[in-house]
A and B are shown apart, each in its own frame.
Chain A
C-alpha cells in the first residue's frame, strides 16, 4: 500500500484523497513471502577492475601531472571501486595538444572512408564487450542492469555504427556547402548515461573528422576509460580520443583552453549558462544539452494502462536521472482518480534495490549529493502543501536509494513543479481542456521533451505541434535512436545530437 504523508493543508485535492481511499479499500491477497522474487544478480566477475586508472592522453594511460587521484564508488554499496587520476590544467593542456597534433597530422589527413572504418571497429568492439561494460556501468553508476544491458549499451553501439557511415557522406547532408571538420572538440558529459553520452559525443565528432578531449563526470569515469581502452584496441591513432576525468574544475580548464575549437556540454542548465557566458565573444562553437521539466499529458481517451506504463517509464527509468524525464504529469480531470489509483498500485510493484539484480526496476541514486538534493526537493513539496505518495518498498541499508514517489495537489508554483529534481519524483497536476494542458505544459523555462497520451491521431498532432519542446513522444516516452535528432528548446539548450541535424554541431560549413 502507498504510504501517504498528509500535510494538513486545507486545499488538498479530492483526487489525492481518492487515491488513499481506494488504496485503503482495495482487496488484497496476501501471499506472505511465498511469491517474493529470488535474487537474480548478474555476475560482476566479468569486470576486471583495476586498482587505479590513469588519464587517457595521446593513446596511453598516464597519471595526472599533479599526482592527484579521486575515489570512485559503487553508489549501491558505497564501496570504493578504484582510484582515478584527476585531470588538472596541465593534463587538460597535454590532452588538447595531443588531440590537436592527432588532428593535424593524422585524423584530418585520413580518407573519410578510412575514418569511418575506425569508427565501425570501435562499434564492433563495443558490441563484443557489451556485457562487461553493462556490468561496469551499473557498478559505477547505480543504474539497473536491465537498463544498462538493454538500453545504454545497445544504443551506444548503435551511435557508433550510425555515425561511422556518415564519415564519407557529409557532403550529402549539407548541399551547396563545403564541409570541413572543426578541430579539437572538448566534450563534457554527465553521470546519468556515462557511456551512452560518451558515444553521443565521440561518434559524430570523429565521423566529421574532429579529434576529442572527453571529460566524464566525476562519479562515473570508468566506462569512459573502458571506451578509451577500446579505442586503443581499435588502433585508433593516438590522440584522436583523449579522456580526462575530473570534476567541474577539470571541465572549466577544457572550456577555457584556447586551442579547443568547440565545446559540447551535457549537464545542468546552471552550468550550461556559465559555459555560454565564458565562451561569449570567442569563436569557439558551442552546443548545450541541459535540464528539463517535461510534461507528460494524459487525455481521457488514452489507453490508461498503457499510459501508466508510459508514466512509470517516463519518470522512474534510470531513477529519474534523465534530463528528458516526464517529471510533470498532466492528467485530464475526468480520469484523474482512476489513473492515479492505477499509478499508486503500479509503483508498489516496482522493485527497488540491487542494481545488478536482473529483476530490479529502480536502482541506486547516483551519489550522496544527488540523494540529498532529491530529499531536499521532496521536503519542499511537502512543505509547500503537496501530498506525497511513495512506494512502501524496503530500501537497502547501504547505498543511496530513494523510493518511487509522486505528489498530488501540486500547484504550478511549487518547486517540485518548476525545478528539475533529477530523481524518481513525479509532480501530478490536472487539466480540463486541451488548451489548458498546452498552457501548463509550456509553462516552464525548459523545453527538452514532452509526452502526449491519447487515442486520437488528430489530437496527437495538434498537441505535439503546440509543445515548445525538442523531442515529443506520442503514446510512448523516453525513446532514443541515433538516427533521431535530440535536443532542447529554450533553457534546455541548443544544438541537436543524432540524425542529420546532429552532424551540424561537428562540421564547419563554407
Chain B
C-alpha cells in the first residue's frame, strides 16, 4: 500500500521519521512515540494498573510502550463481552458476514502500516511482512463468507421414531477466551479470532506478549469495522499473570489456547474444569496455509442445540 497510509497507521517507531522527508532539511520532525492501549468494551484504555511494558524489536531497539493488562482489566473485558454477546449472536448471519468483510477492507486500507509494524517488531523482511498481512486479509474474507453457511453444514434434521420435528443447530457458546500465539502475531490472532466471533461468540484475547503491537493496531481496525463494542477485547500483558484468571473465570465458557506454552497450557486445562470450560489447544504449524482455516475452527466454539417439536393437528 501507499506510503501515505503508512504514516497514519499509528505505527510510530524510531524509523517513522524516515517517512517525514518533507521536514526541515537535515532536521527531521521529531517522531511521535505512542503508548499502545488495550481495547476493552470497544474503548481504548490504559490498564487500570497503570503499568506499561516497553516493546523492543528483535534486535533490542525500543519500539513503543504497551499497557500491561491486569486481572481487573480482564474481568472488565469479560463483563463487557458477556453483556454484548447476546446482541451480537442475535444479529443476522448476513450482517455478521458484512462486518467481517468490513474488517478485511479496513485492514487492507492500512496494510502498509501493518507491514511496517511486523517488520519492526519481528524483523520480518518486507516480502514476508506483506505476505502475512495479505494472508490476514484473506483469512478475514474467508470467515466473512462462513457466517451464513455454518448452520446449514453443522445443523441436522433428525429422523426420530416418534411424531416430532426434531432438529439440531449450532449456537455460539458465549464468551470465549483466546490465548493468542506468540508468533506469528497478526495472522495468528486473526486466524483464531475470526472463527470464534463469526458464529456469534464474544472473545477476550490475551495477545502475543512478545509482539503485541500489530495486534493492538488490529484493535484500531476492528474498532472501525462496525463490530459491536465488547465482542472482541484485546489485552496485552503478561500471559502467565492473566491466563489463570481467564481459565478460572466463571463467566467464560471456552478457551482457545494457541499460546504454545506447555506449562501455561497445563494450568489453563486444569483451571478450566472449574466451570467445565471447553478447551481447545492449538499447535498450528503454518498459519498462512489453507489448513489453518475452515469450519473445524468454527465448530470448536459452537454448542449443538436439539429442539423437539410435536407434529400433530
Q: Which residues of A contact B158 (CB under 8 A)?
A: 481, 483-485, 499
Specify the chain B residue showing the minimal Cβ separation from A273. Answer: B273
Interface string of A475-494 (1 = CB under 8 A from B): 11001010111110111111
Q: Is the CB of B306 within 8 A of A280?
A: no
A484 engages B306 (CB within 8 Å): yes
Q: Do A474 and B276 touch across chains, with their CB atoms under 8 A apart? A: no
User: What interface size band does chain B fall in?
Assistant: 20 to 34
Main secondary structure of the interface of A (DSSP, over half): mixed
Asked whether any CB of chain B lies closer than 8 Å to the CB of A226, the reply is no
Interface contact A475-B309, CB-CB below 8 Å: yes
- Is B272's CB under 8 angstroms from A464's CB? no
The stretch of A74-82, A101-109, A127-135, A465-473 in contact with B is A465-473
Name the B residues within 8 Å of A484 (CB-CB).
158, 160, 166, 168, 306, 308
Q: How many residue-residue contacts, CB under 8 A, span A and B?
A: 105
Query: In the complex, which residues of chain B have a beta carbon less than 8 angstroms from the beta carbon of A288?
Result: 276
Q: Answer whether A158 and B161 are a contact pair too, CB < 8 Å, given A469-B305, A471-B305, A484-B166.
A: yes
- For B153, the closest partner residue in chain A by CB is A175
B residues 151-179 near A (Cβ < 8 Å) are 156, 158-162, 164, 166, 168, 171, 173-174
Taking each of B164, B173, B306, which has the highest tally of chain A beta carbons within 10 Å of its own beta carbon? Answer: B306
- The B contact surface, by secondary structure, is mixed
Find out whether the CB atom of A471 lies under 8 angstroms from the CB atom of B306: yes
> Assuming A481-B161, A501-B156, is B272 touching A472 (CB within 8 A)?
no
Map CB proximity to A onto B265-280 as digits: 1 under 8 Å, 0 otherwise: 1100110111110100
Whether A501 lies near B168 (C-beta < 8 A) is yes
Which of A273, A465, A476, A484 lies at the interface centre, i.e. has the most chain B CB atoms within 10 A of its CB?
A484
The smallest C-beta distance from B278 to any residue of chain A, in angstroms, reads 5
B304 at the interface (CB under 8 A from A): yes
Q: B310, A475: Cβ atoms under 8 Å?
A: yes
**B296 contact set on A, CB distance < 8 A:** 509
Q: What is the bound-complex CA distance between A472 and B164, given in angstroms?
A: 12
User: A490, B270: Cβ atoms under 8 Å?
Assistant: no
Tell me the residues in window 299-313 of chain B with beta carbons closer than 8 Å to chain A beta carbons.
303-310
B47 within 8 A of A: no
Q: What chain A residues lie within 8 Å of B147 (beta carbons)?
A: none
Q: Does B253 contact A (CB under 8 A)?
A: yes
Contact present for B276 and A473 (CB under 8 Å): no
Cβ A470 vs Cβ B276 within 8 A: no
Contact A489–B266 (Cβ < 8 Å)? no
In the complex, per-residue mask of B211-255: 1 if CB is within 8 Å of any chain A CB, else 0: 000000000000000000000000000000000000000100100
In contact, A281 and B270 (Cβ under 8 angstroms): yes
| B 108-134 binary contact with A (CB < 8 Å = 1; else 0) | 000000000000000000000000000
Given pairs A280-B270, A445-B250, 11 additional interface contacts (CB within 8 A): A445-B275, A469-B305, A474-B307, A474-B308, A479-B308, A483-B158, A484-B158, A485-B306, A489-B253, A489-B303, A490-B253
> Chain A: residues with CB nearer than 8 A to chain B?
158, 269, 272-274, 276-277, 280-281, 288, 290, 445, 460, 464-465, 467-476, 479, 481, 483-487, 489-494, 496, 499-501, 509
Tell me the B residues contacting A by CB distance below 8 Å.
156, 158-162, 164, 166, 168, 171, 173-174, 250, 253, 265-266, 269-270, 272-276, 278, 296, 303-310
Instruction: Give the top 5 A-B pairs by smallest Cβ distance, nearest first.
Output: A280-B269, A481-B160, A276-B273, A277-B273, A280-B270
18 A–B pairs (Cβ distance < 8 Å), ordered by A: A269-B276, A276-B273, A280-B266, A280-B269, A290-B276, A445-B275, A470-B304, A470-B305, A481-B160, A485-B304, A486-B306, A490-B275, A491-B275, A494-B278, A499-B158, A499-B168, A499-B306, A509-B296
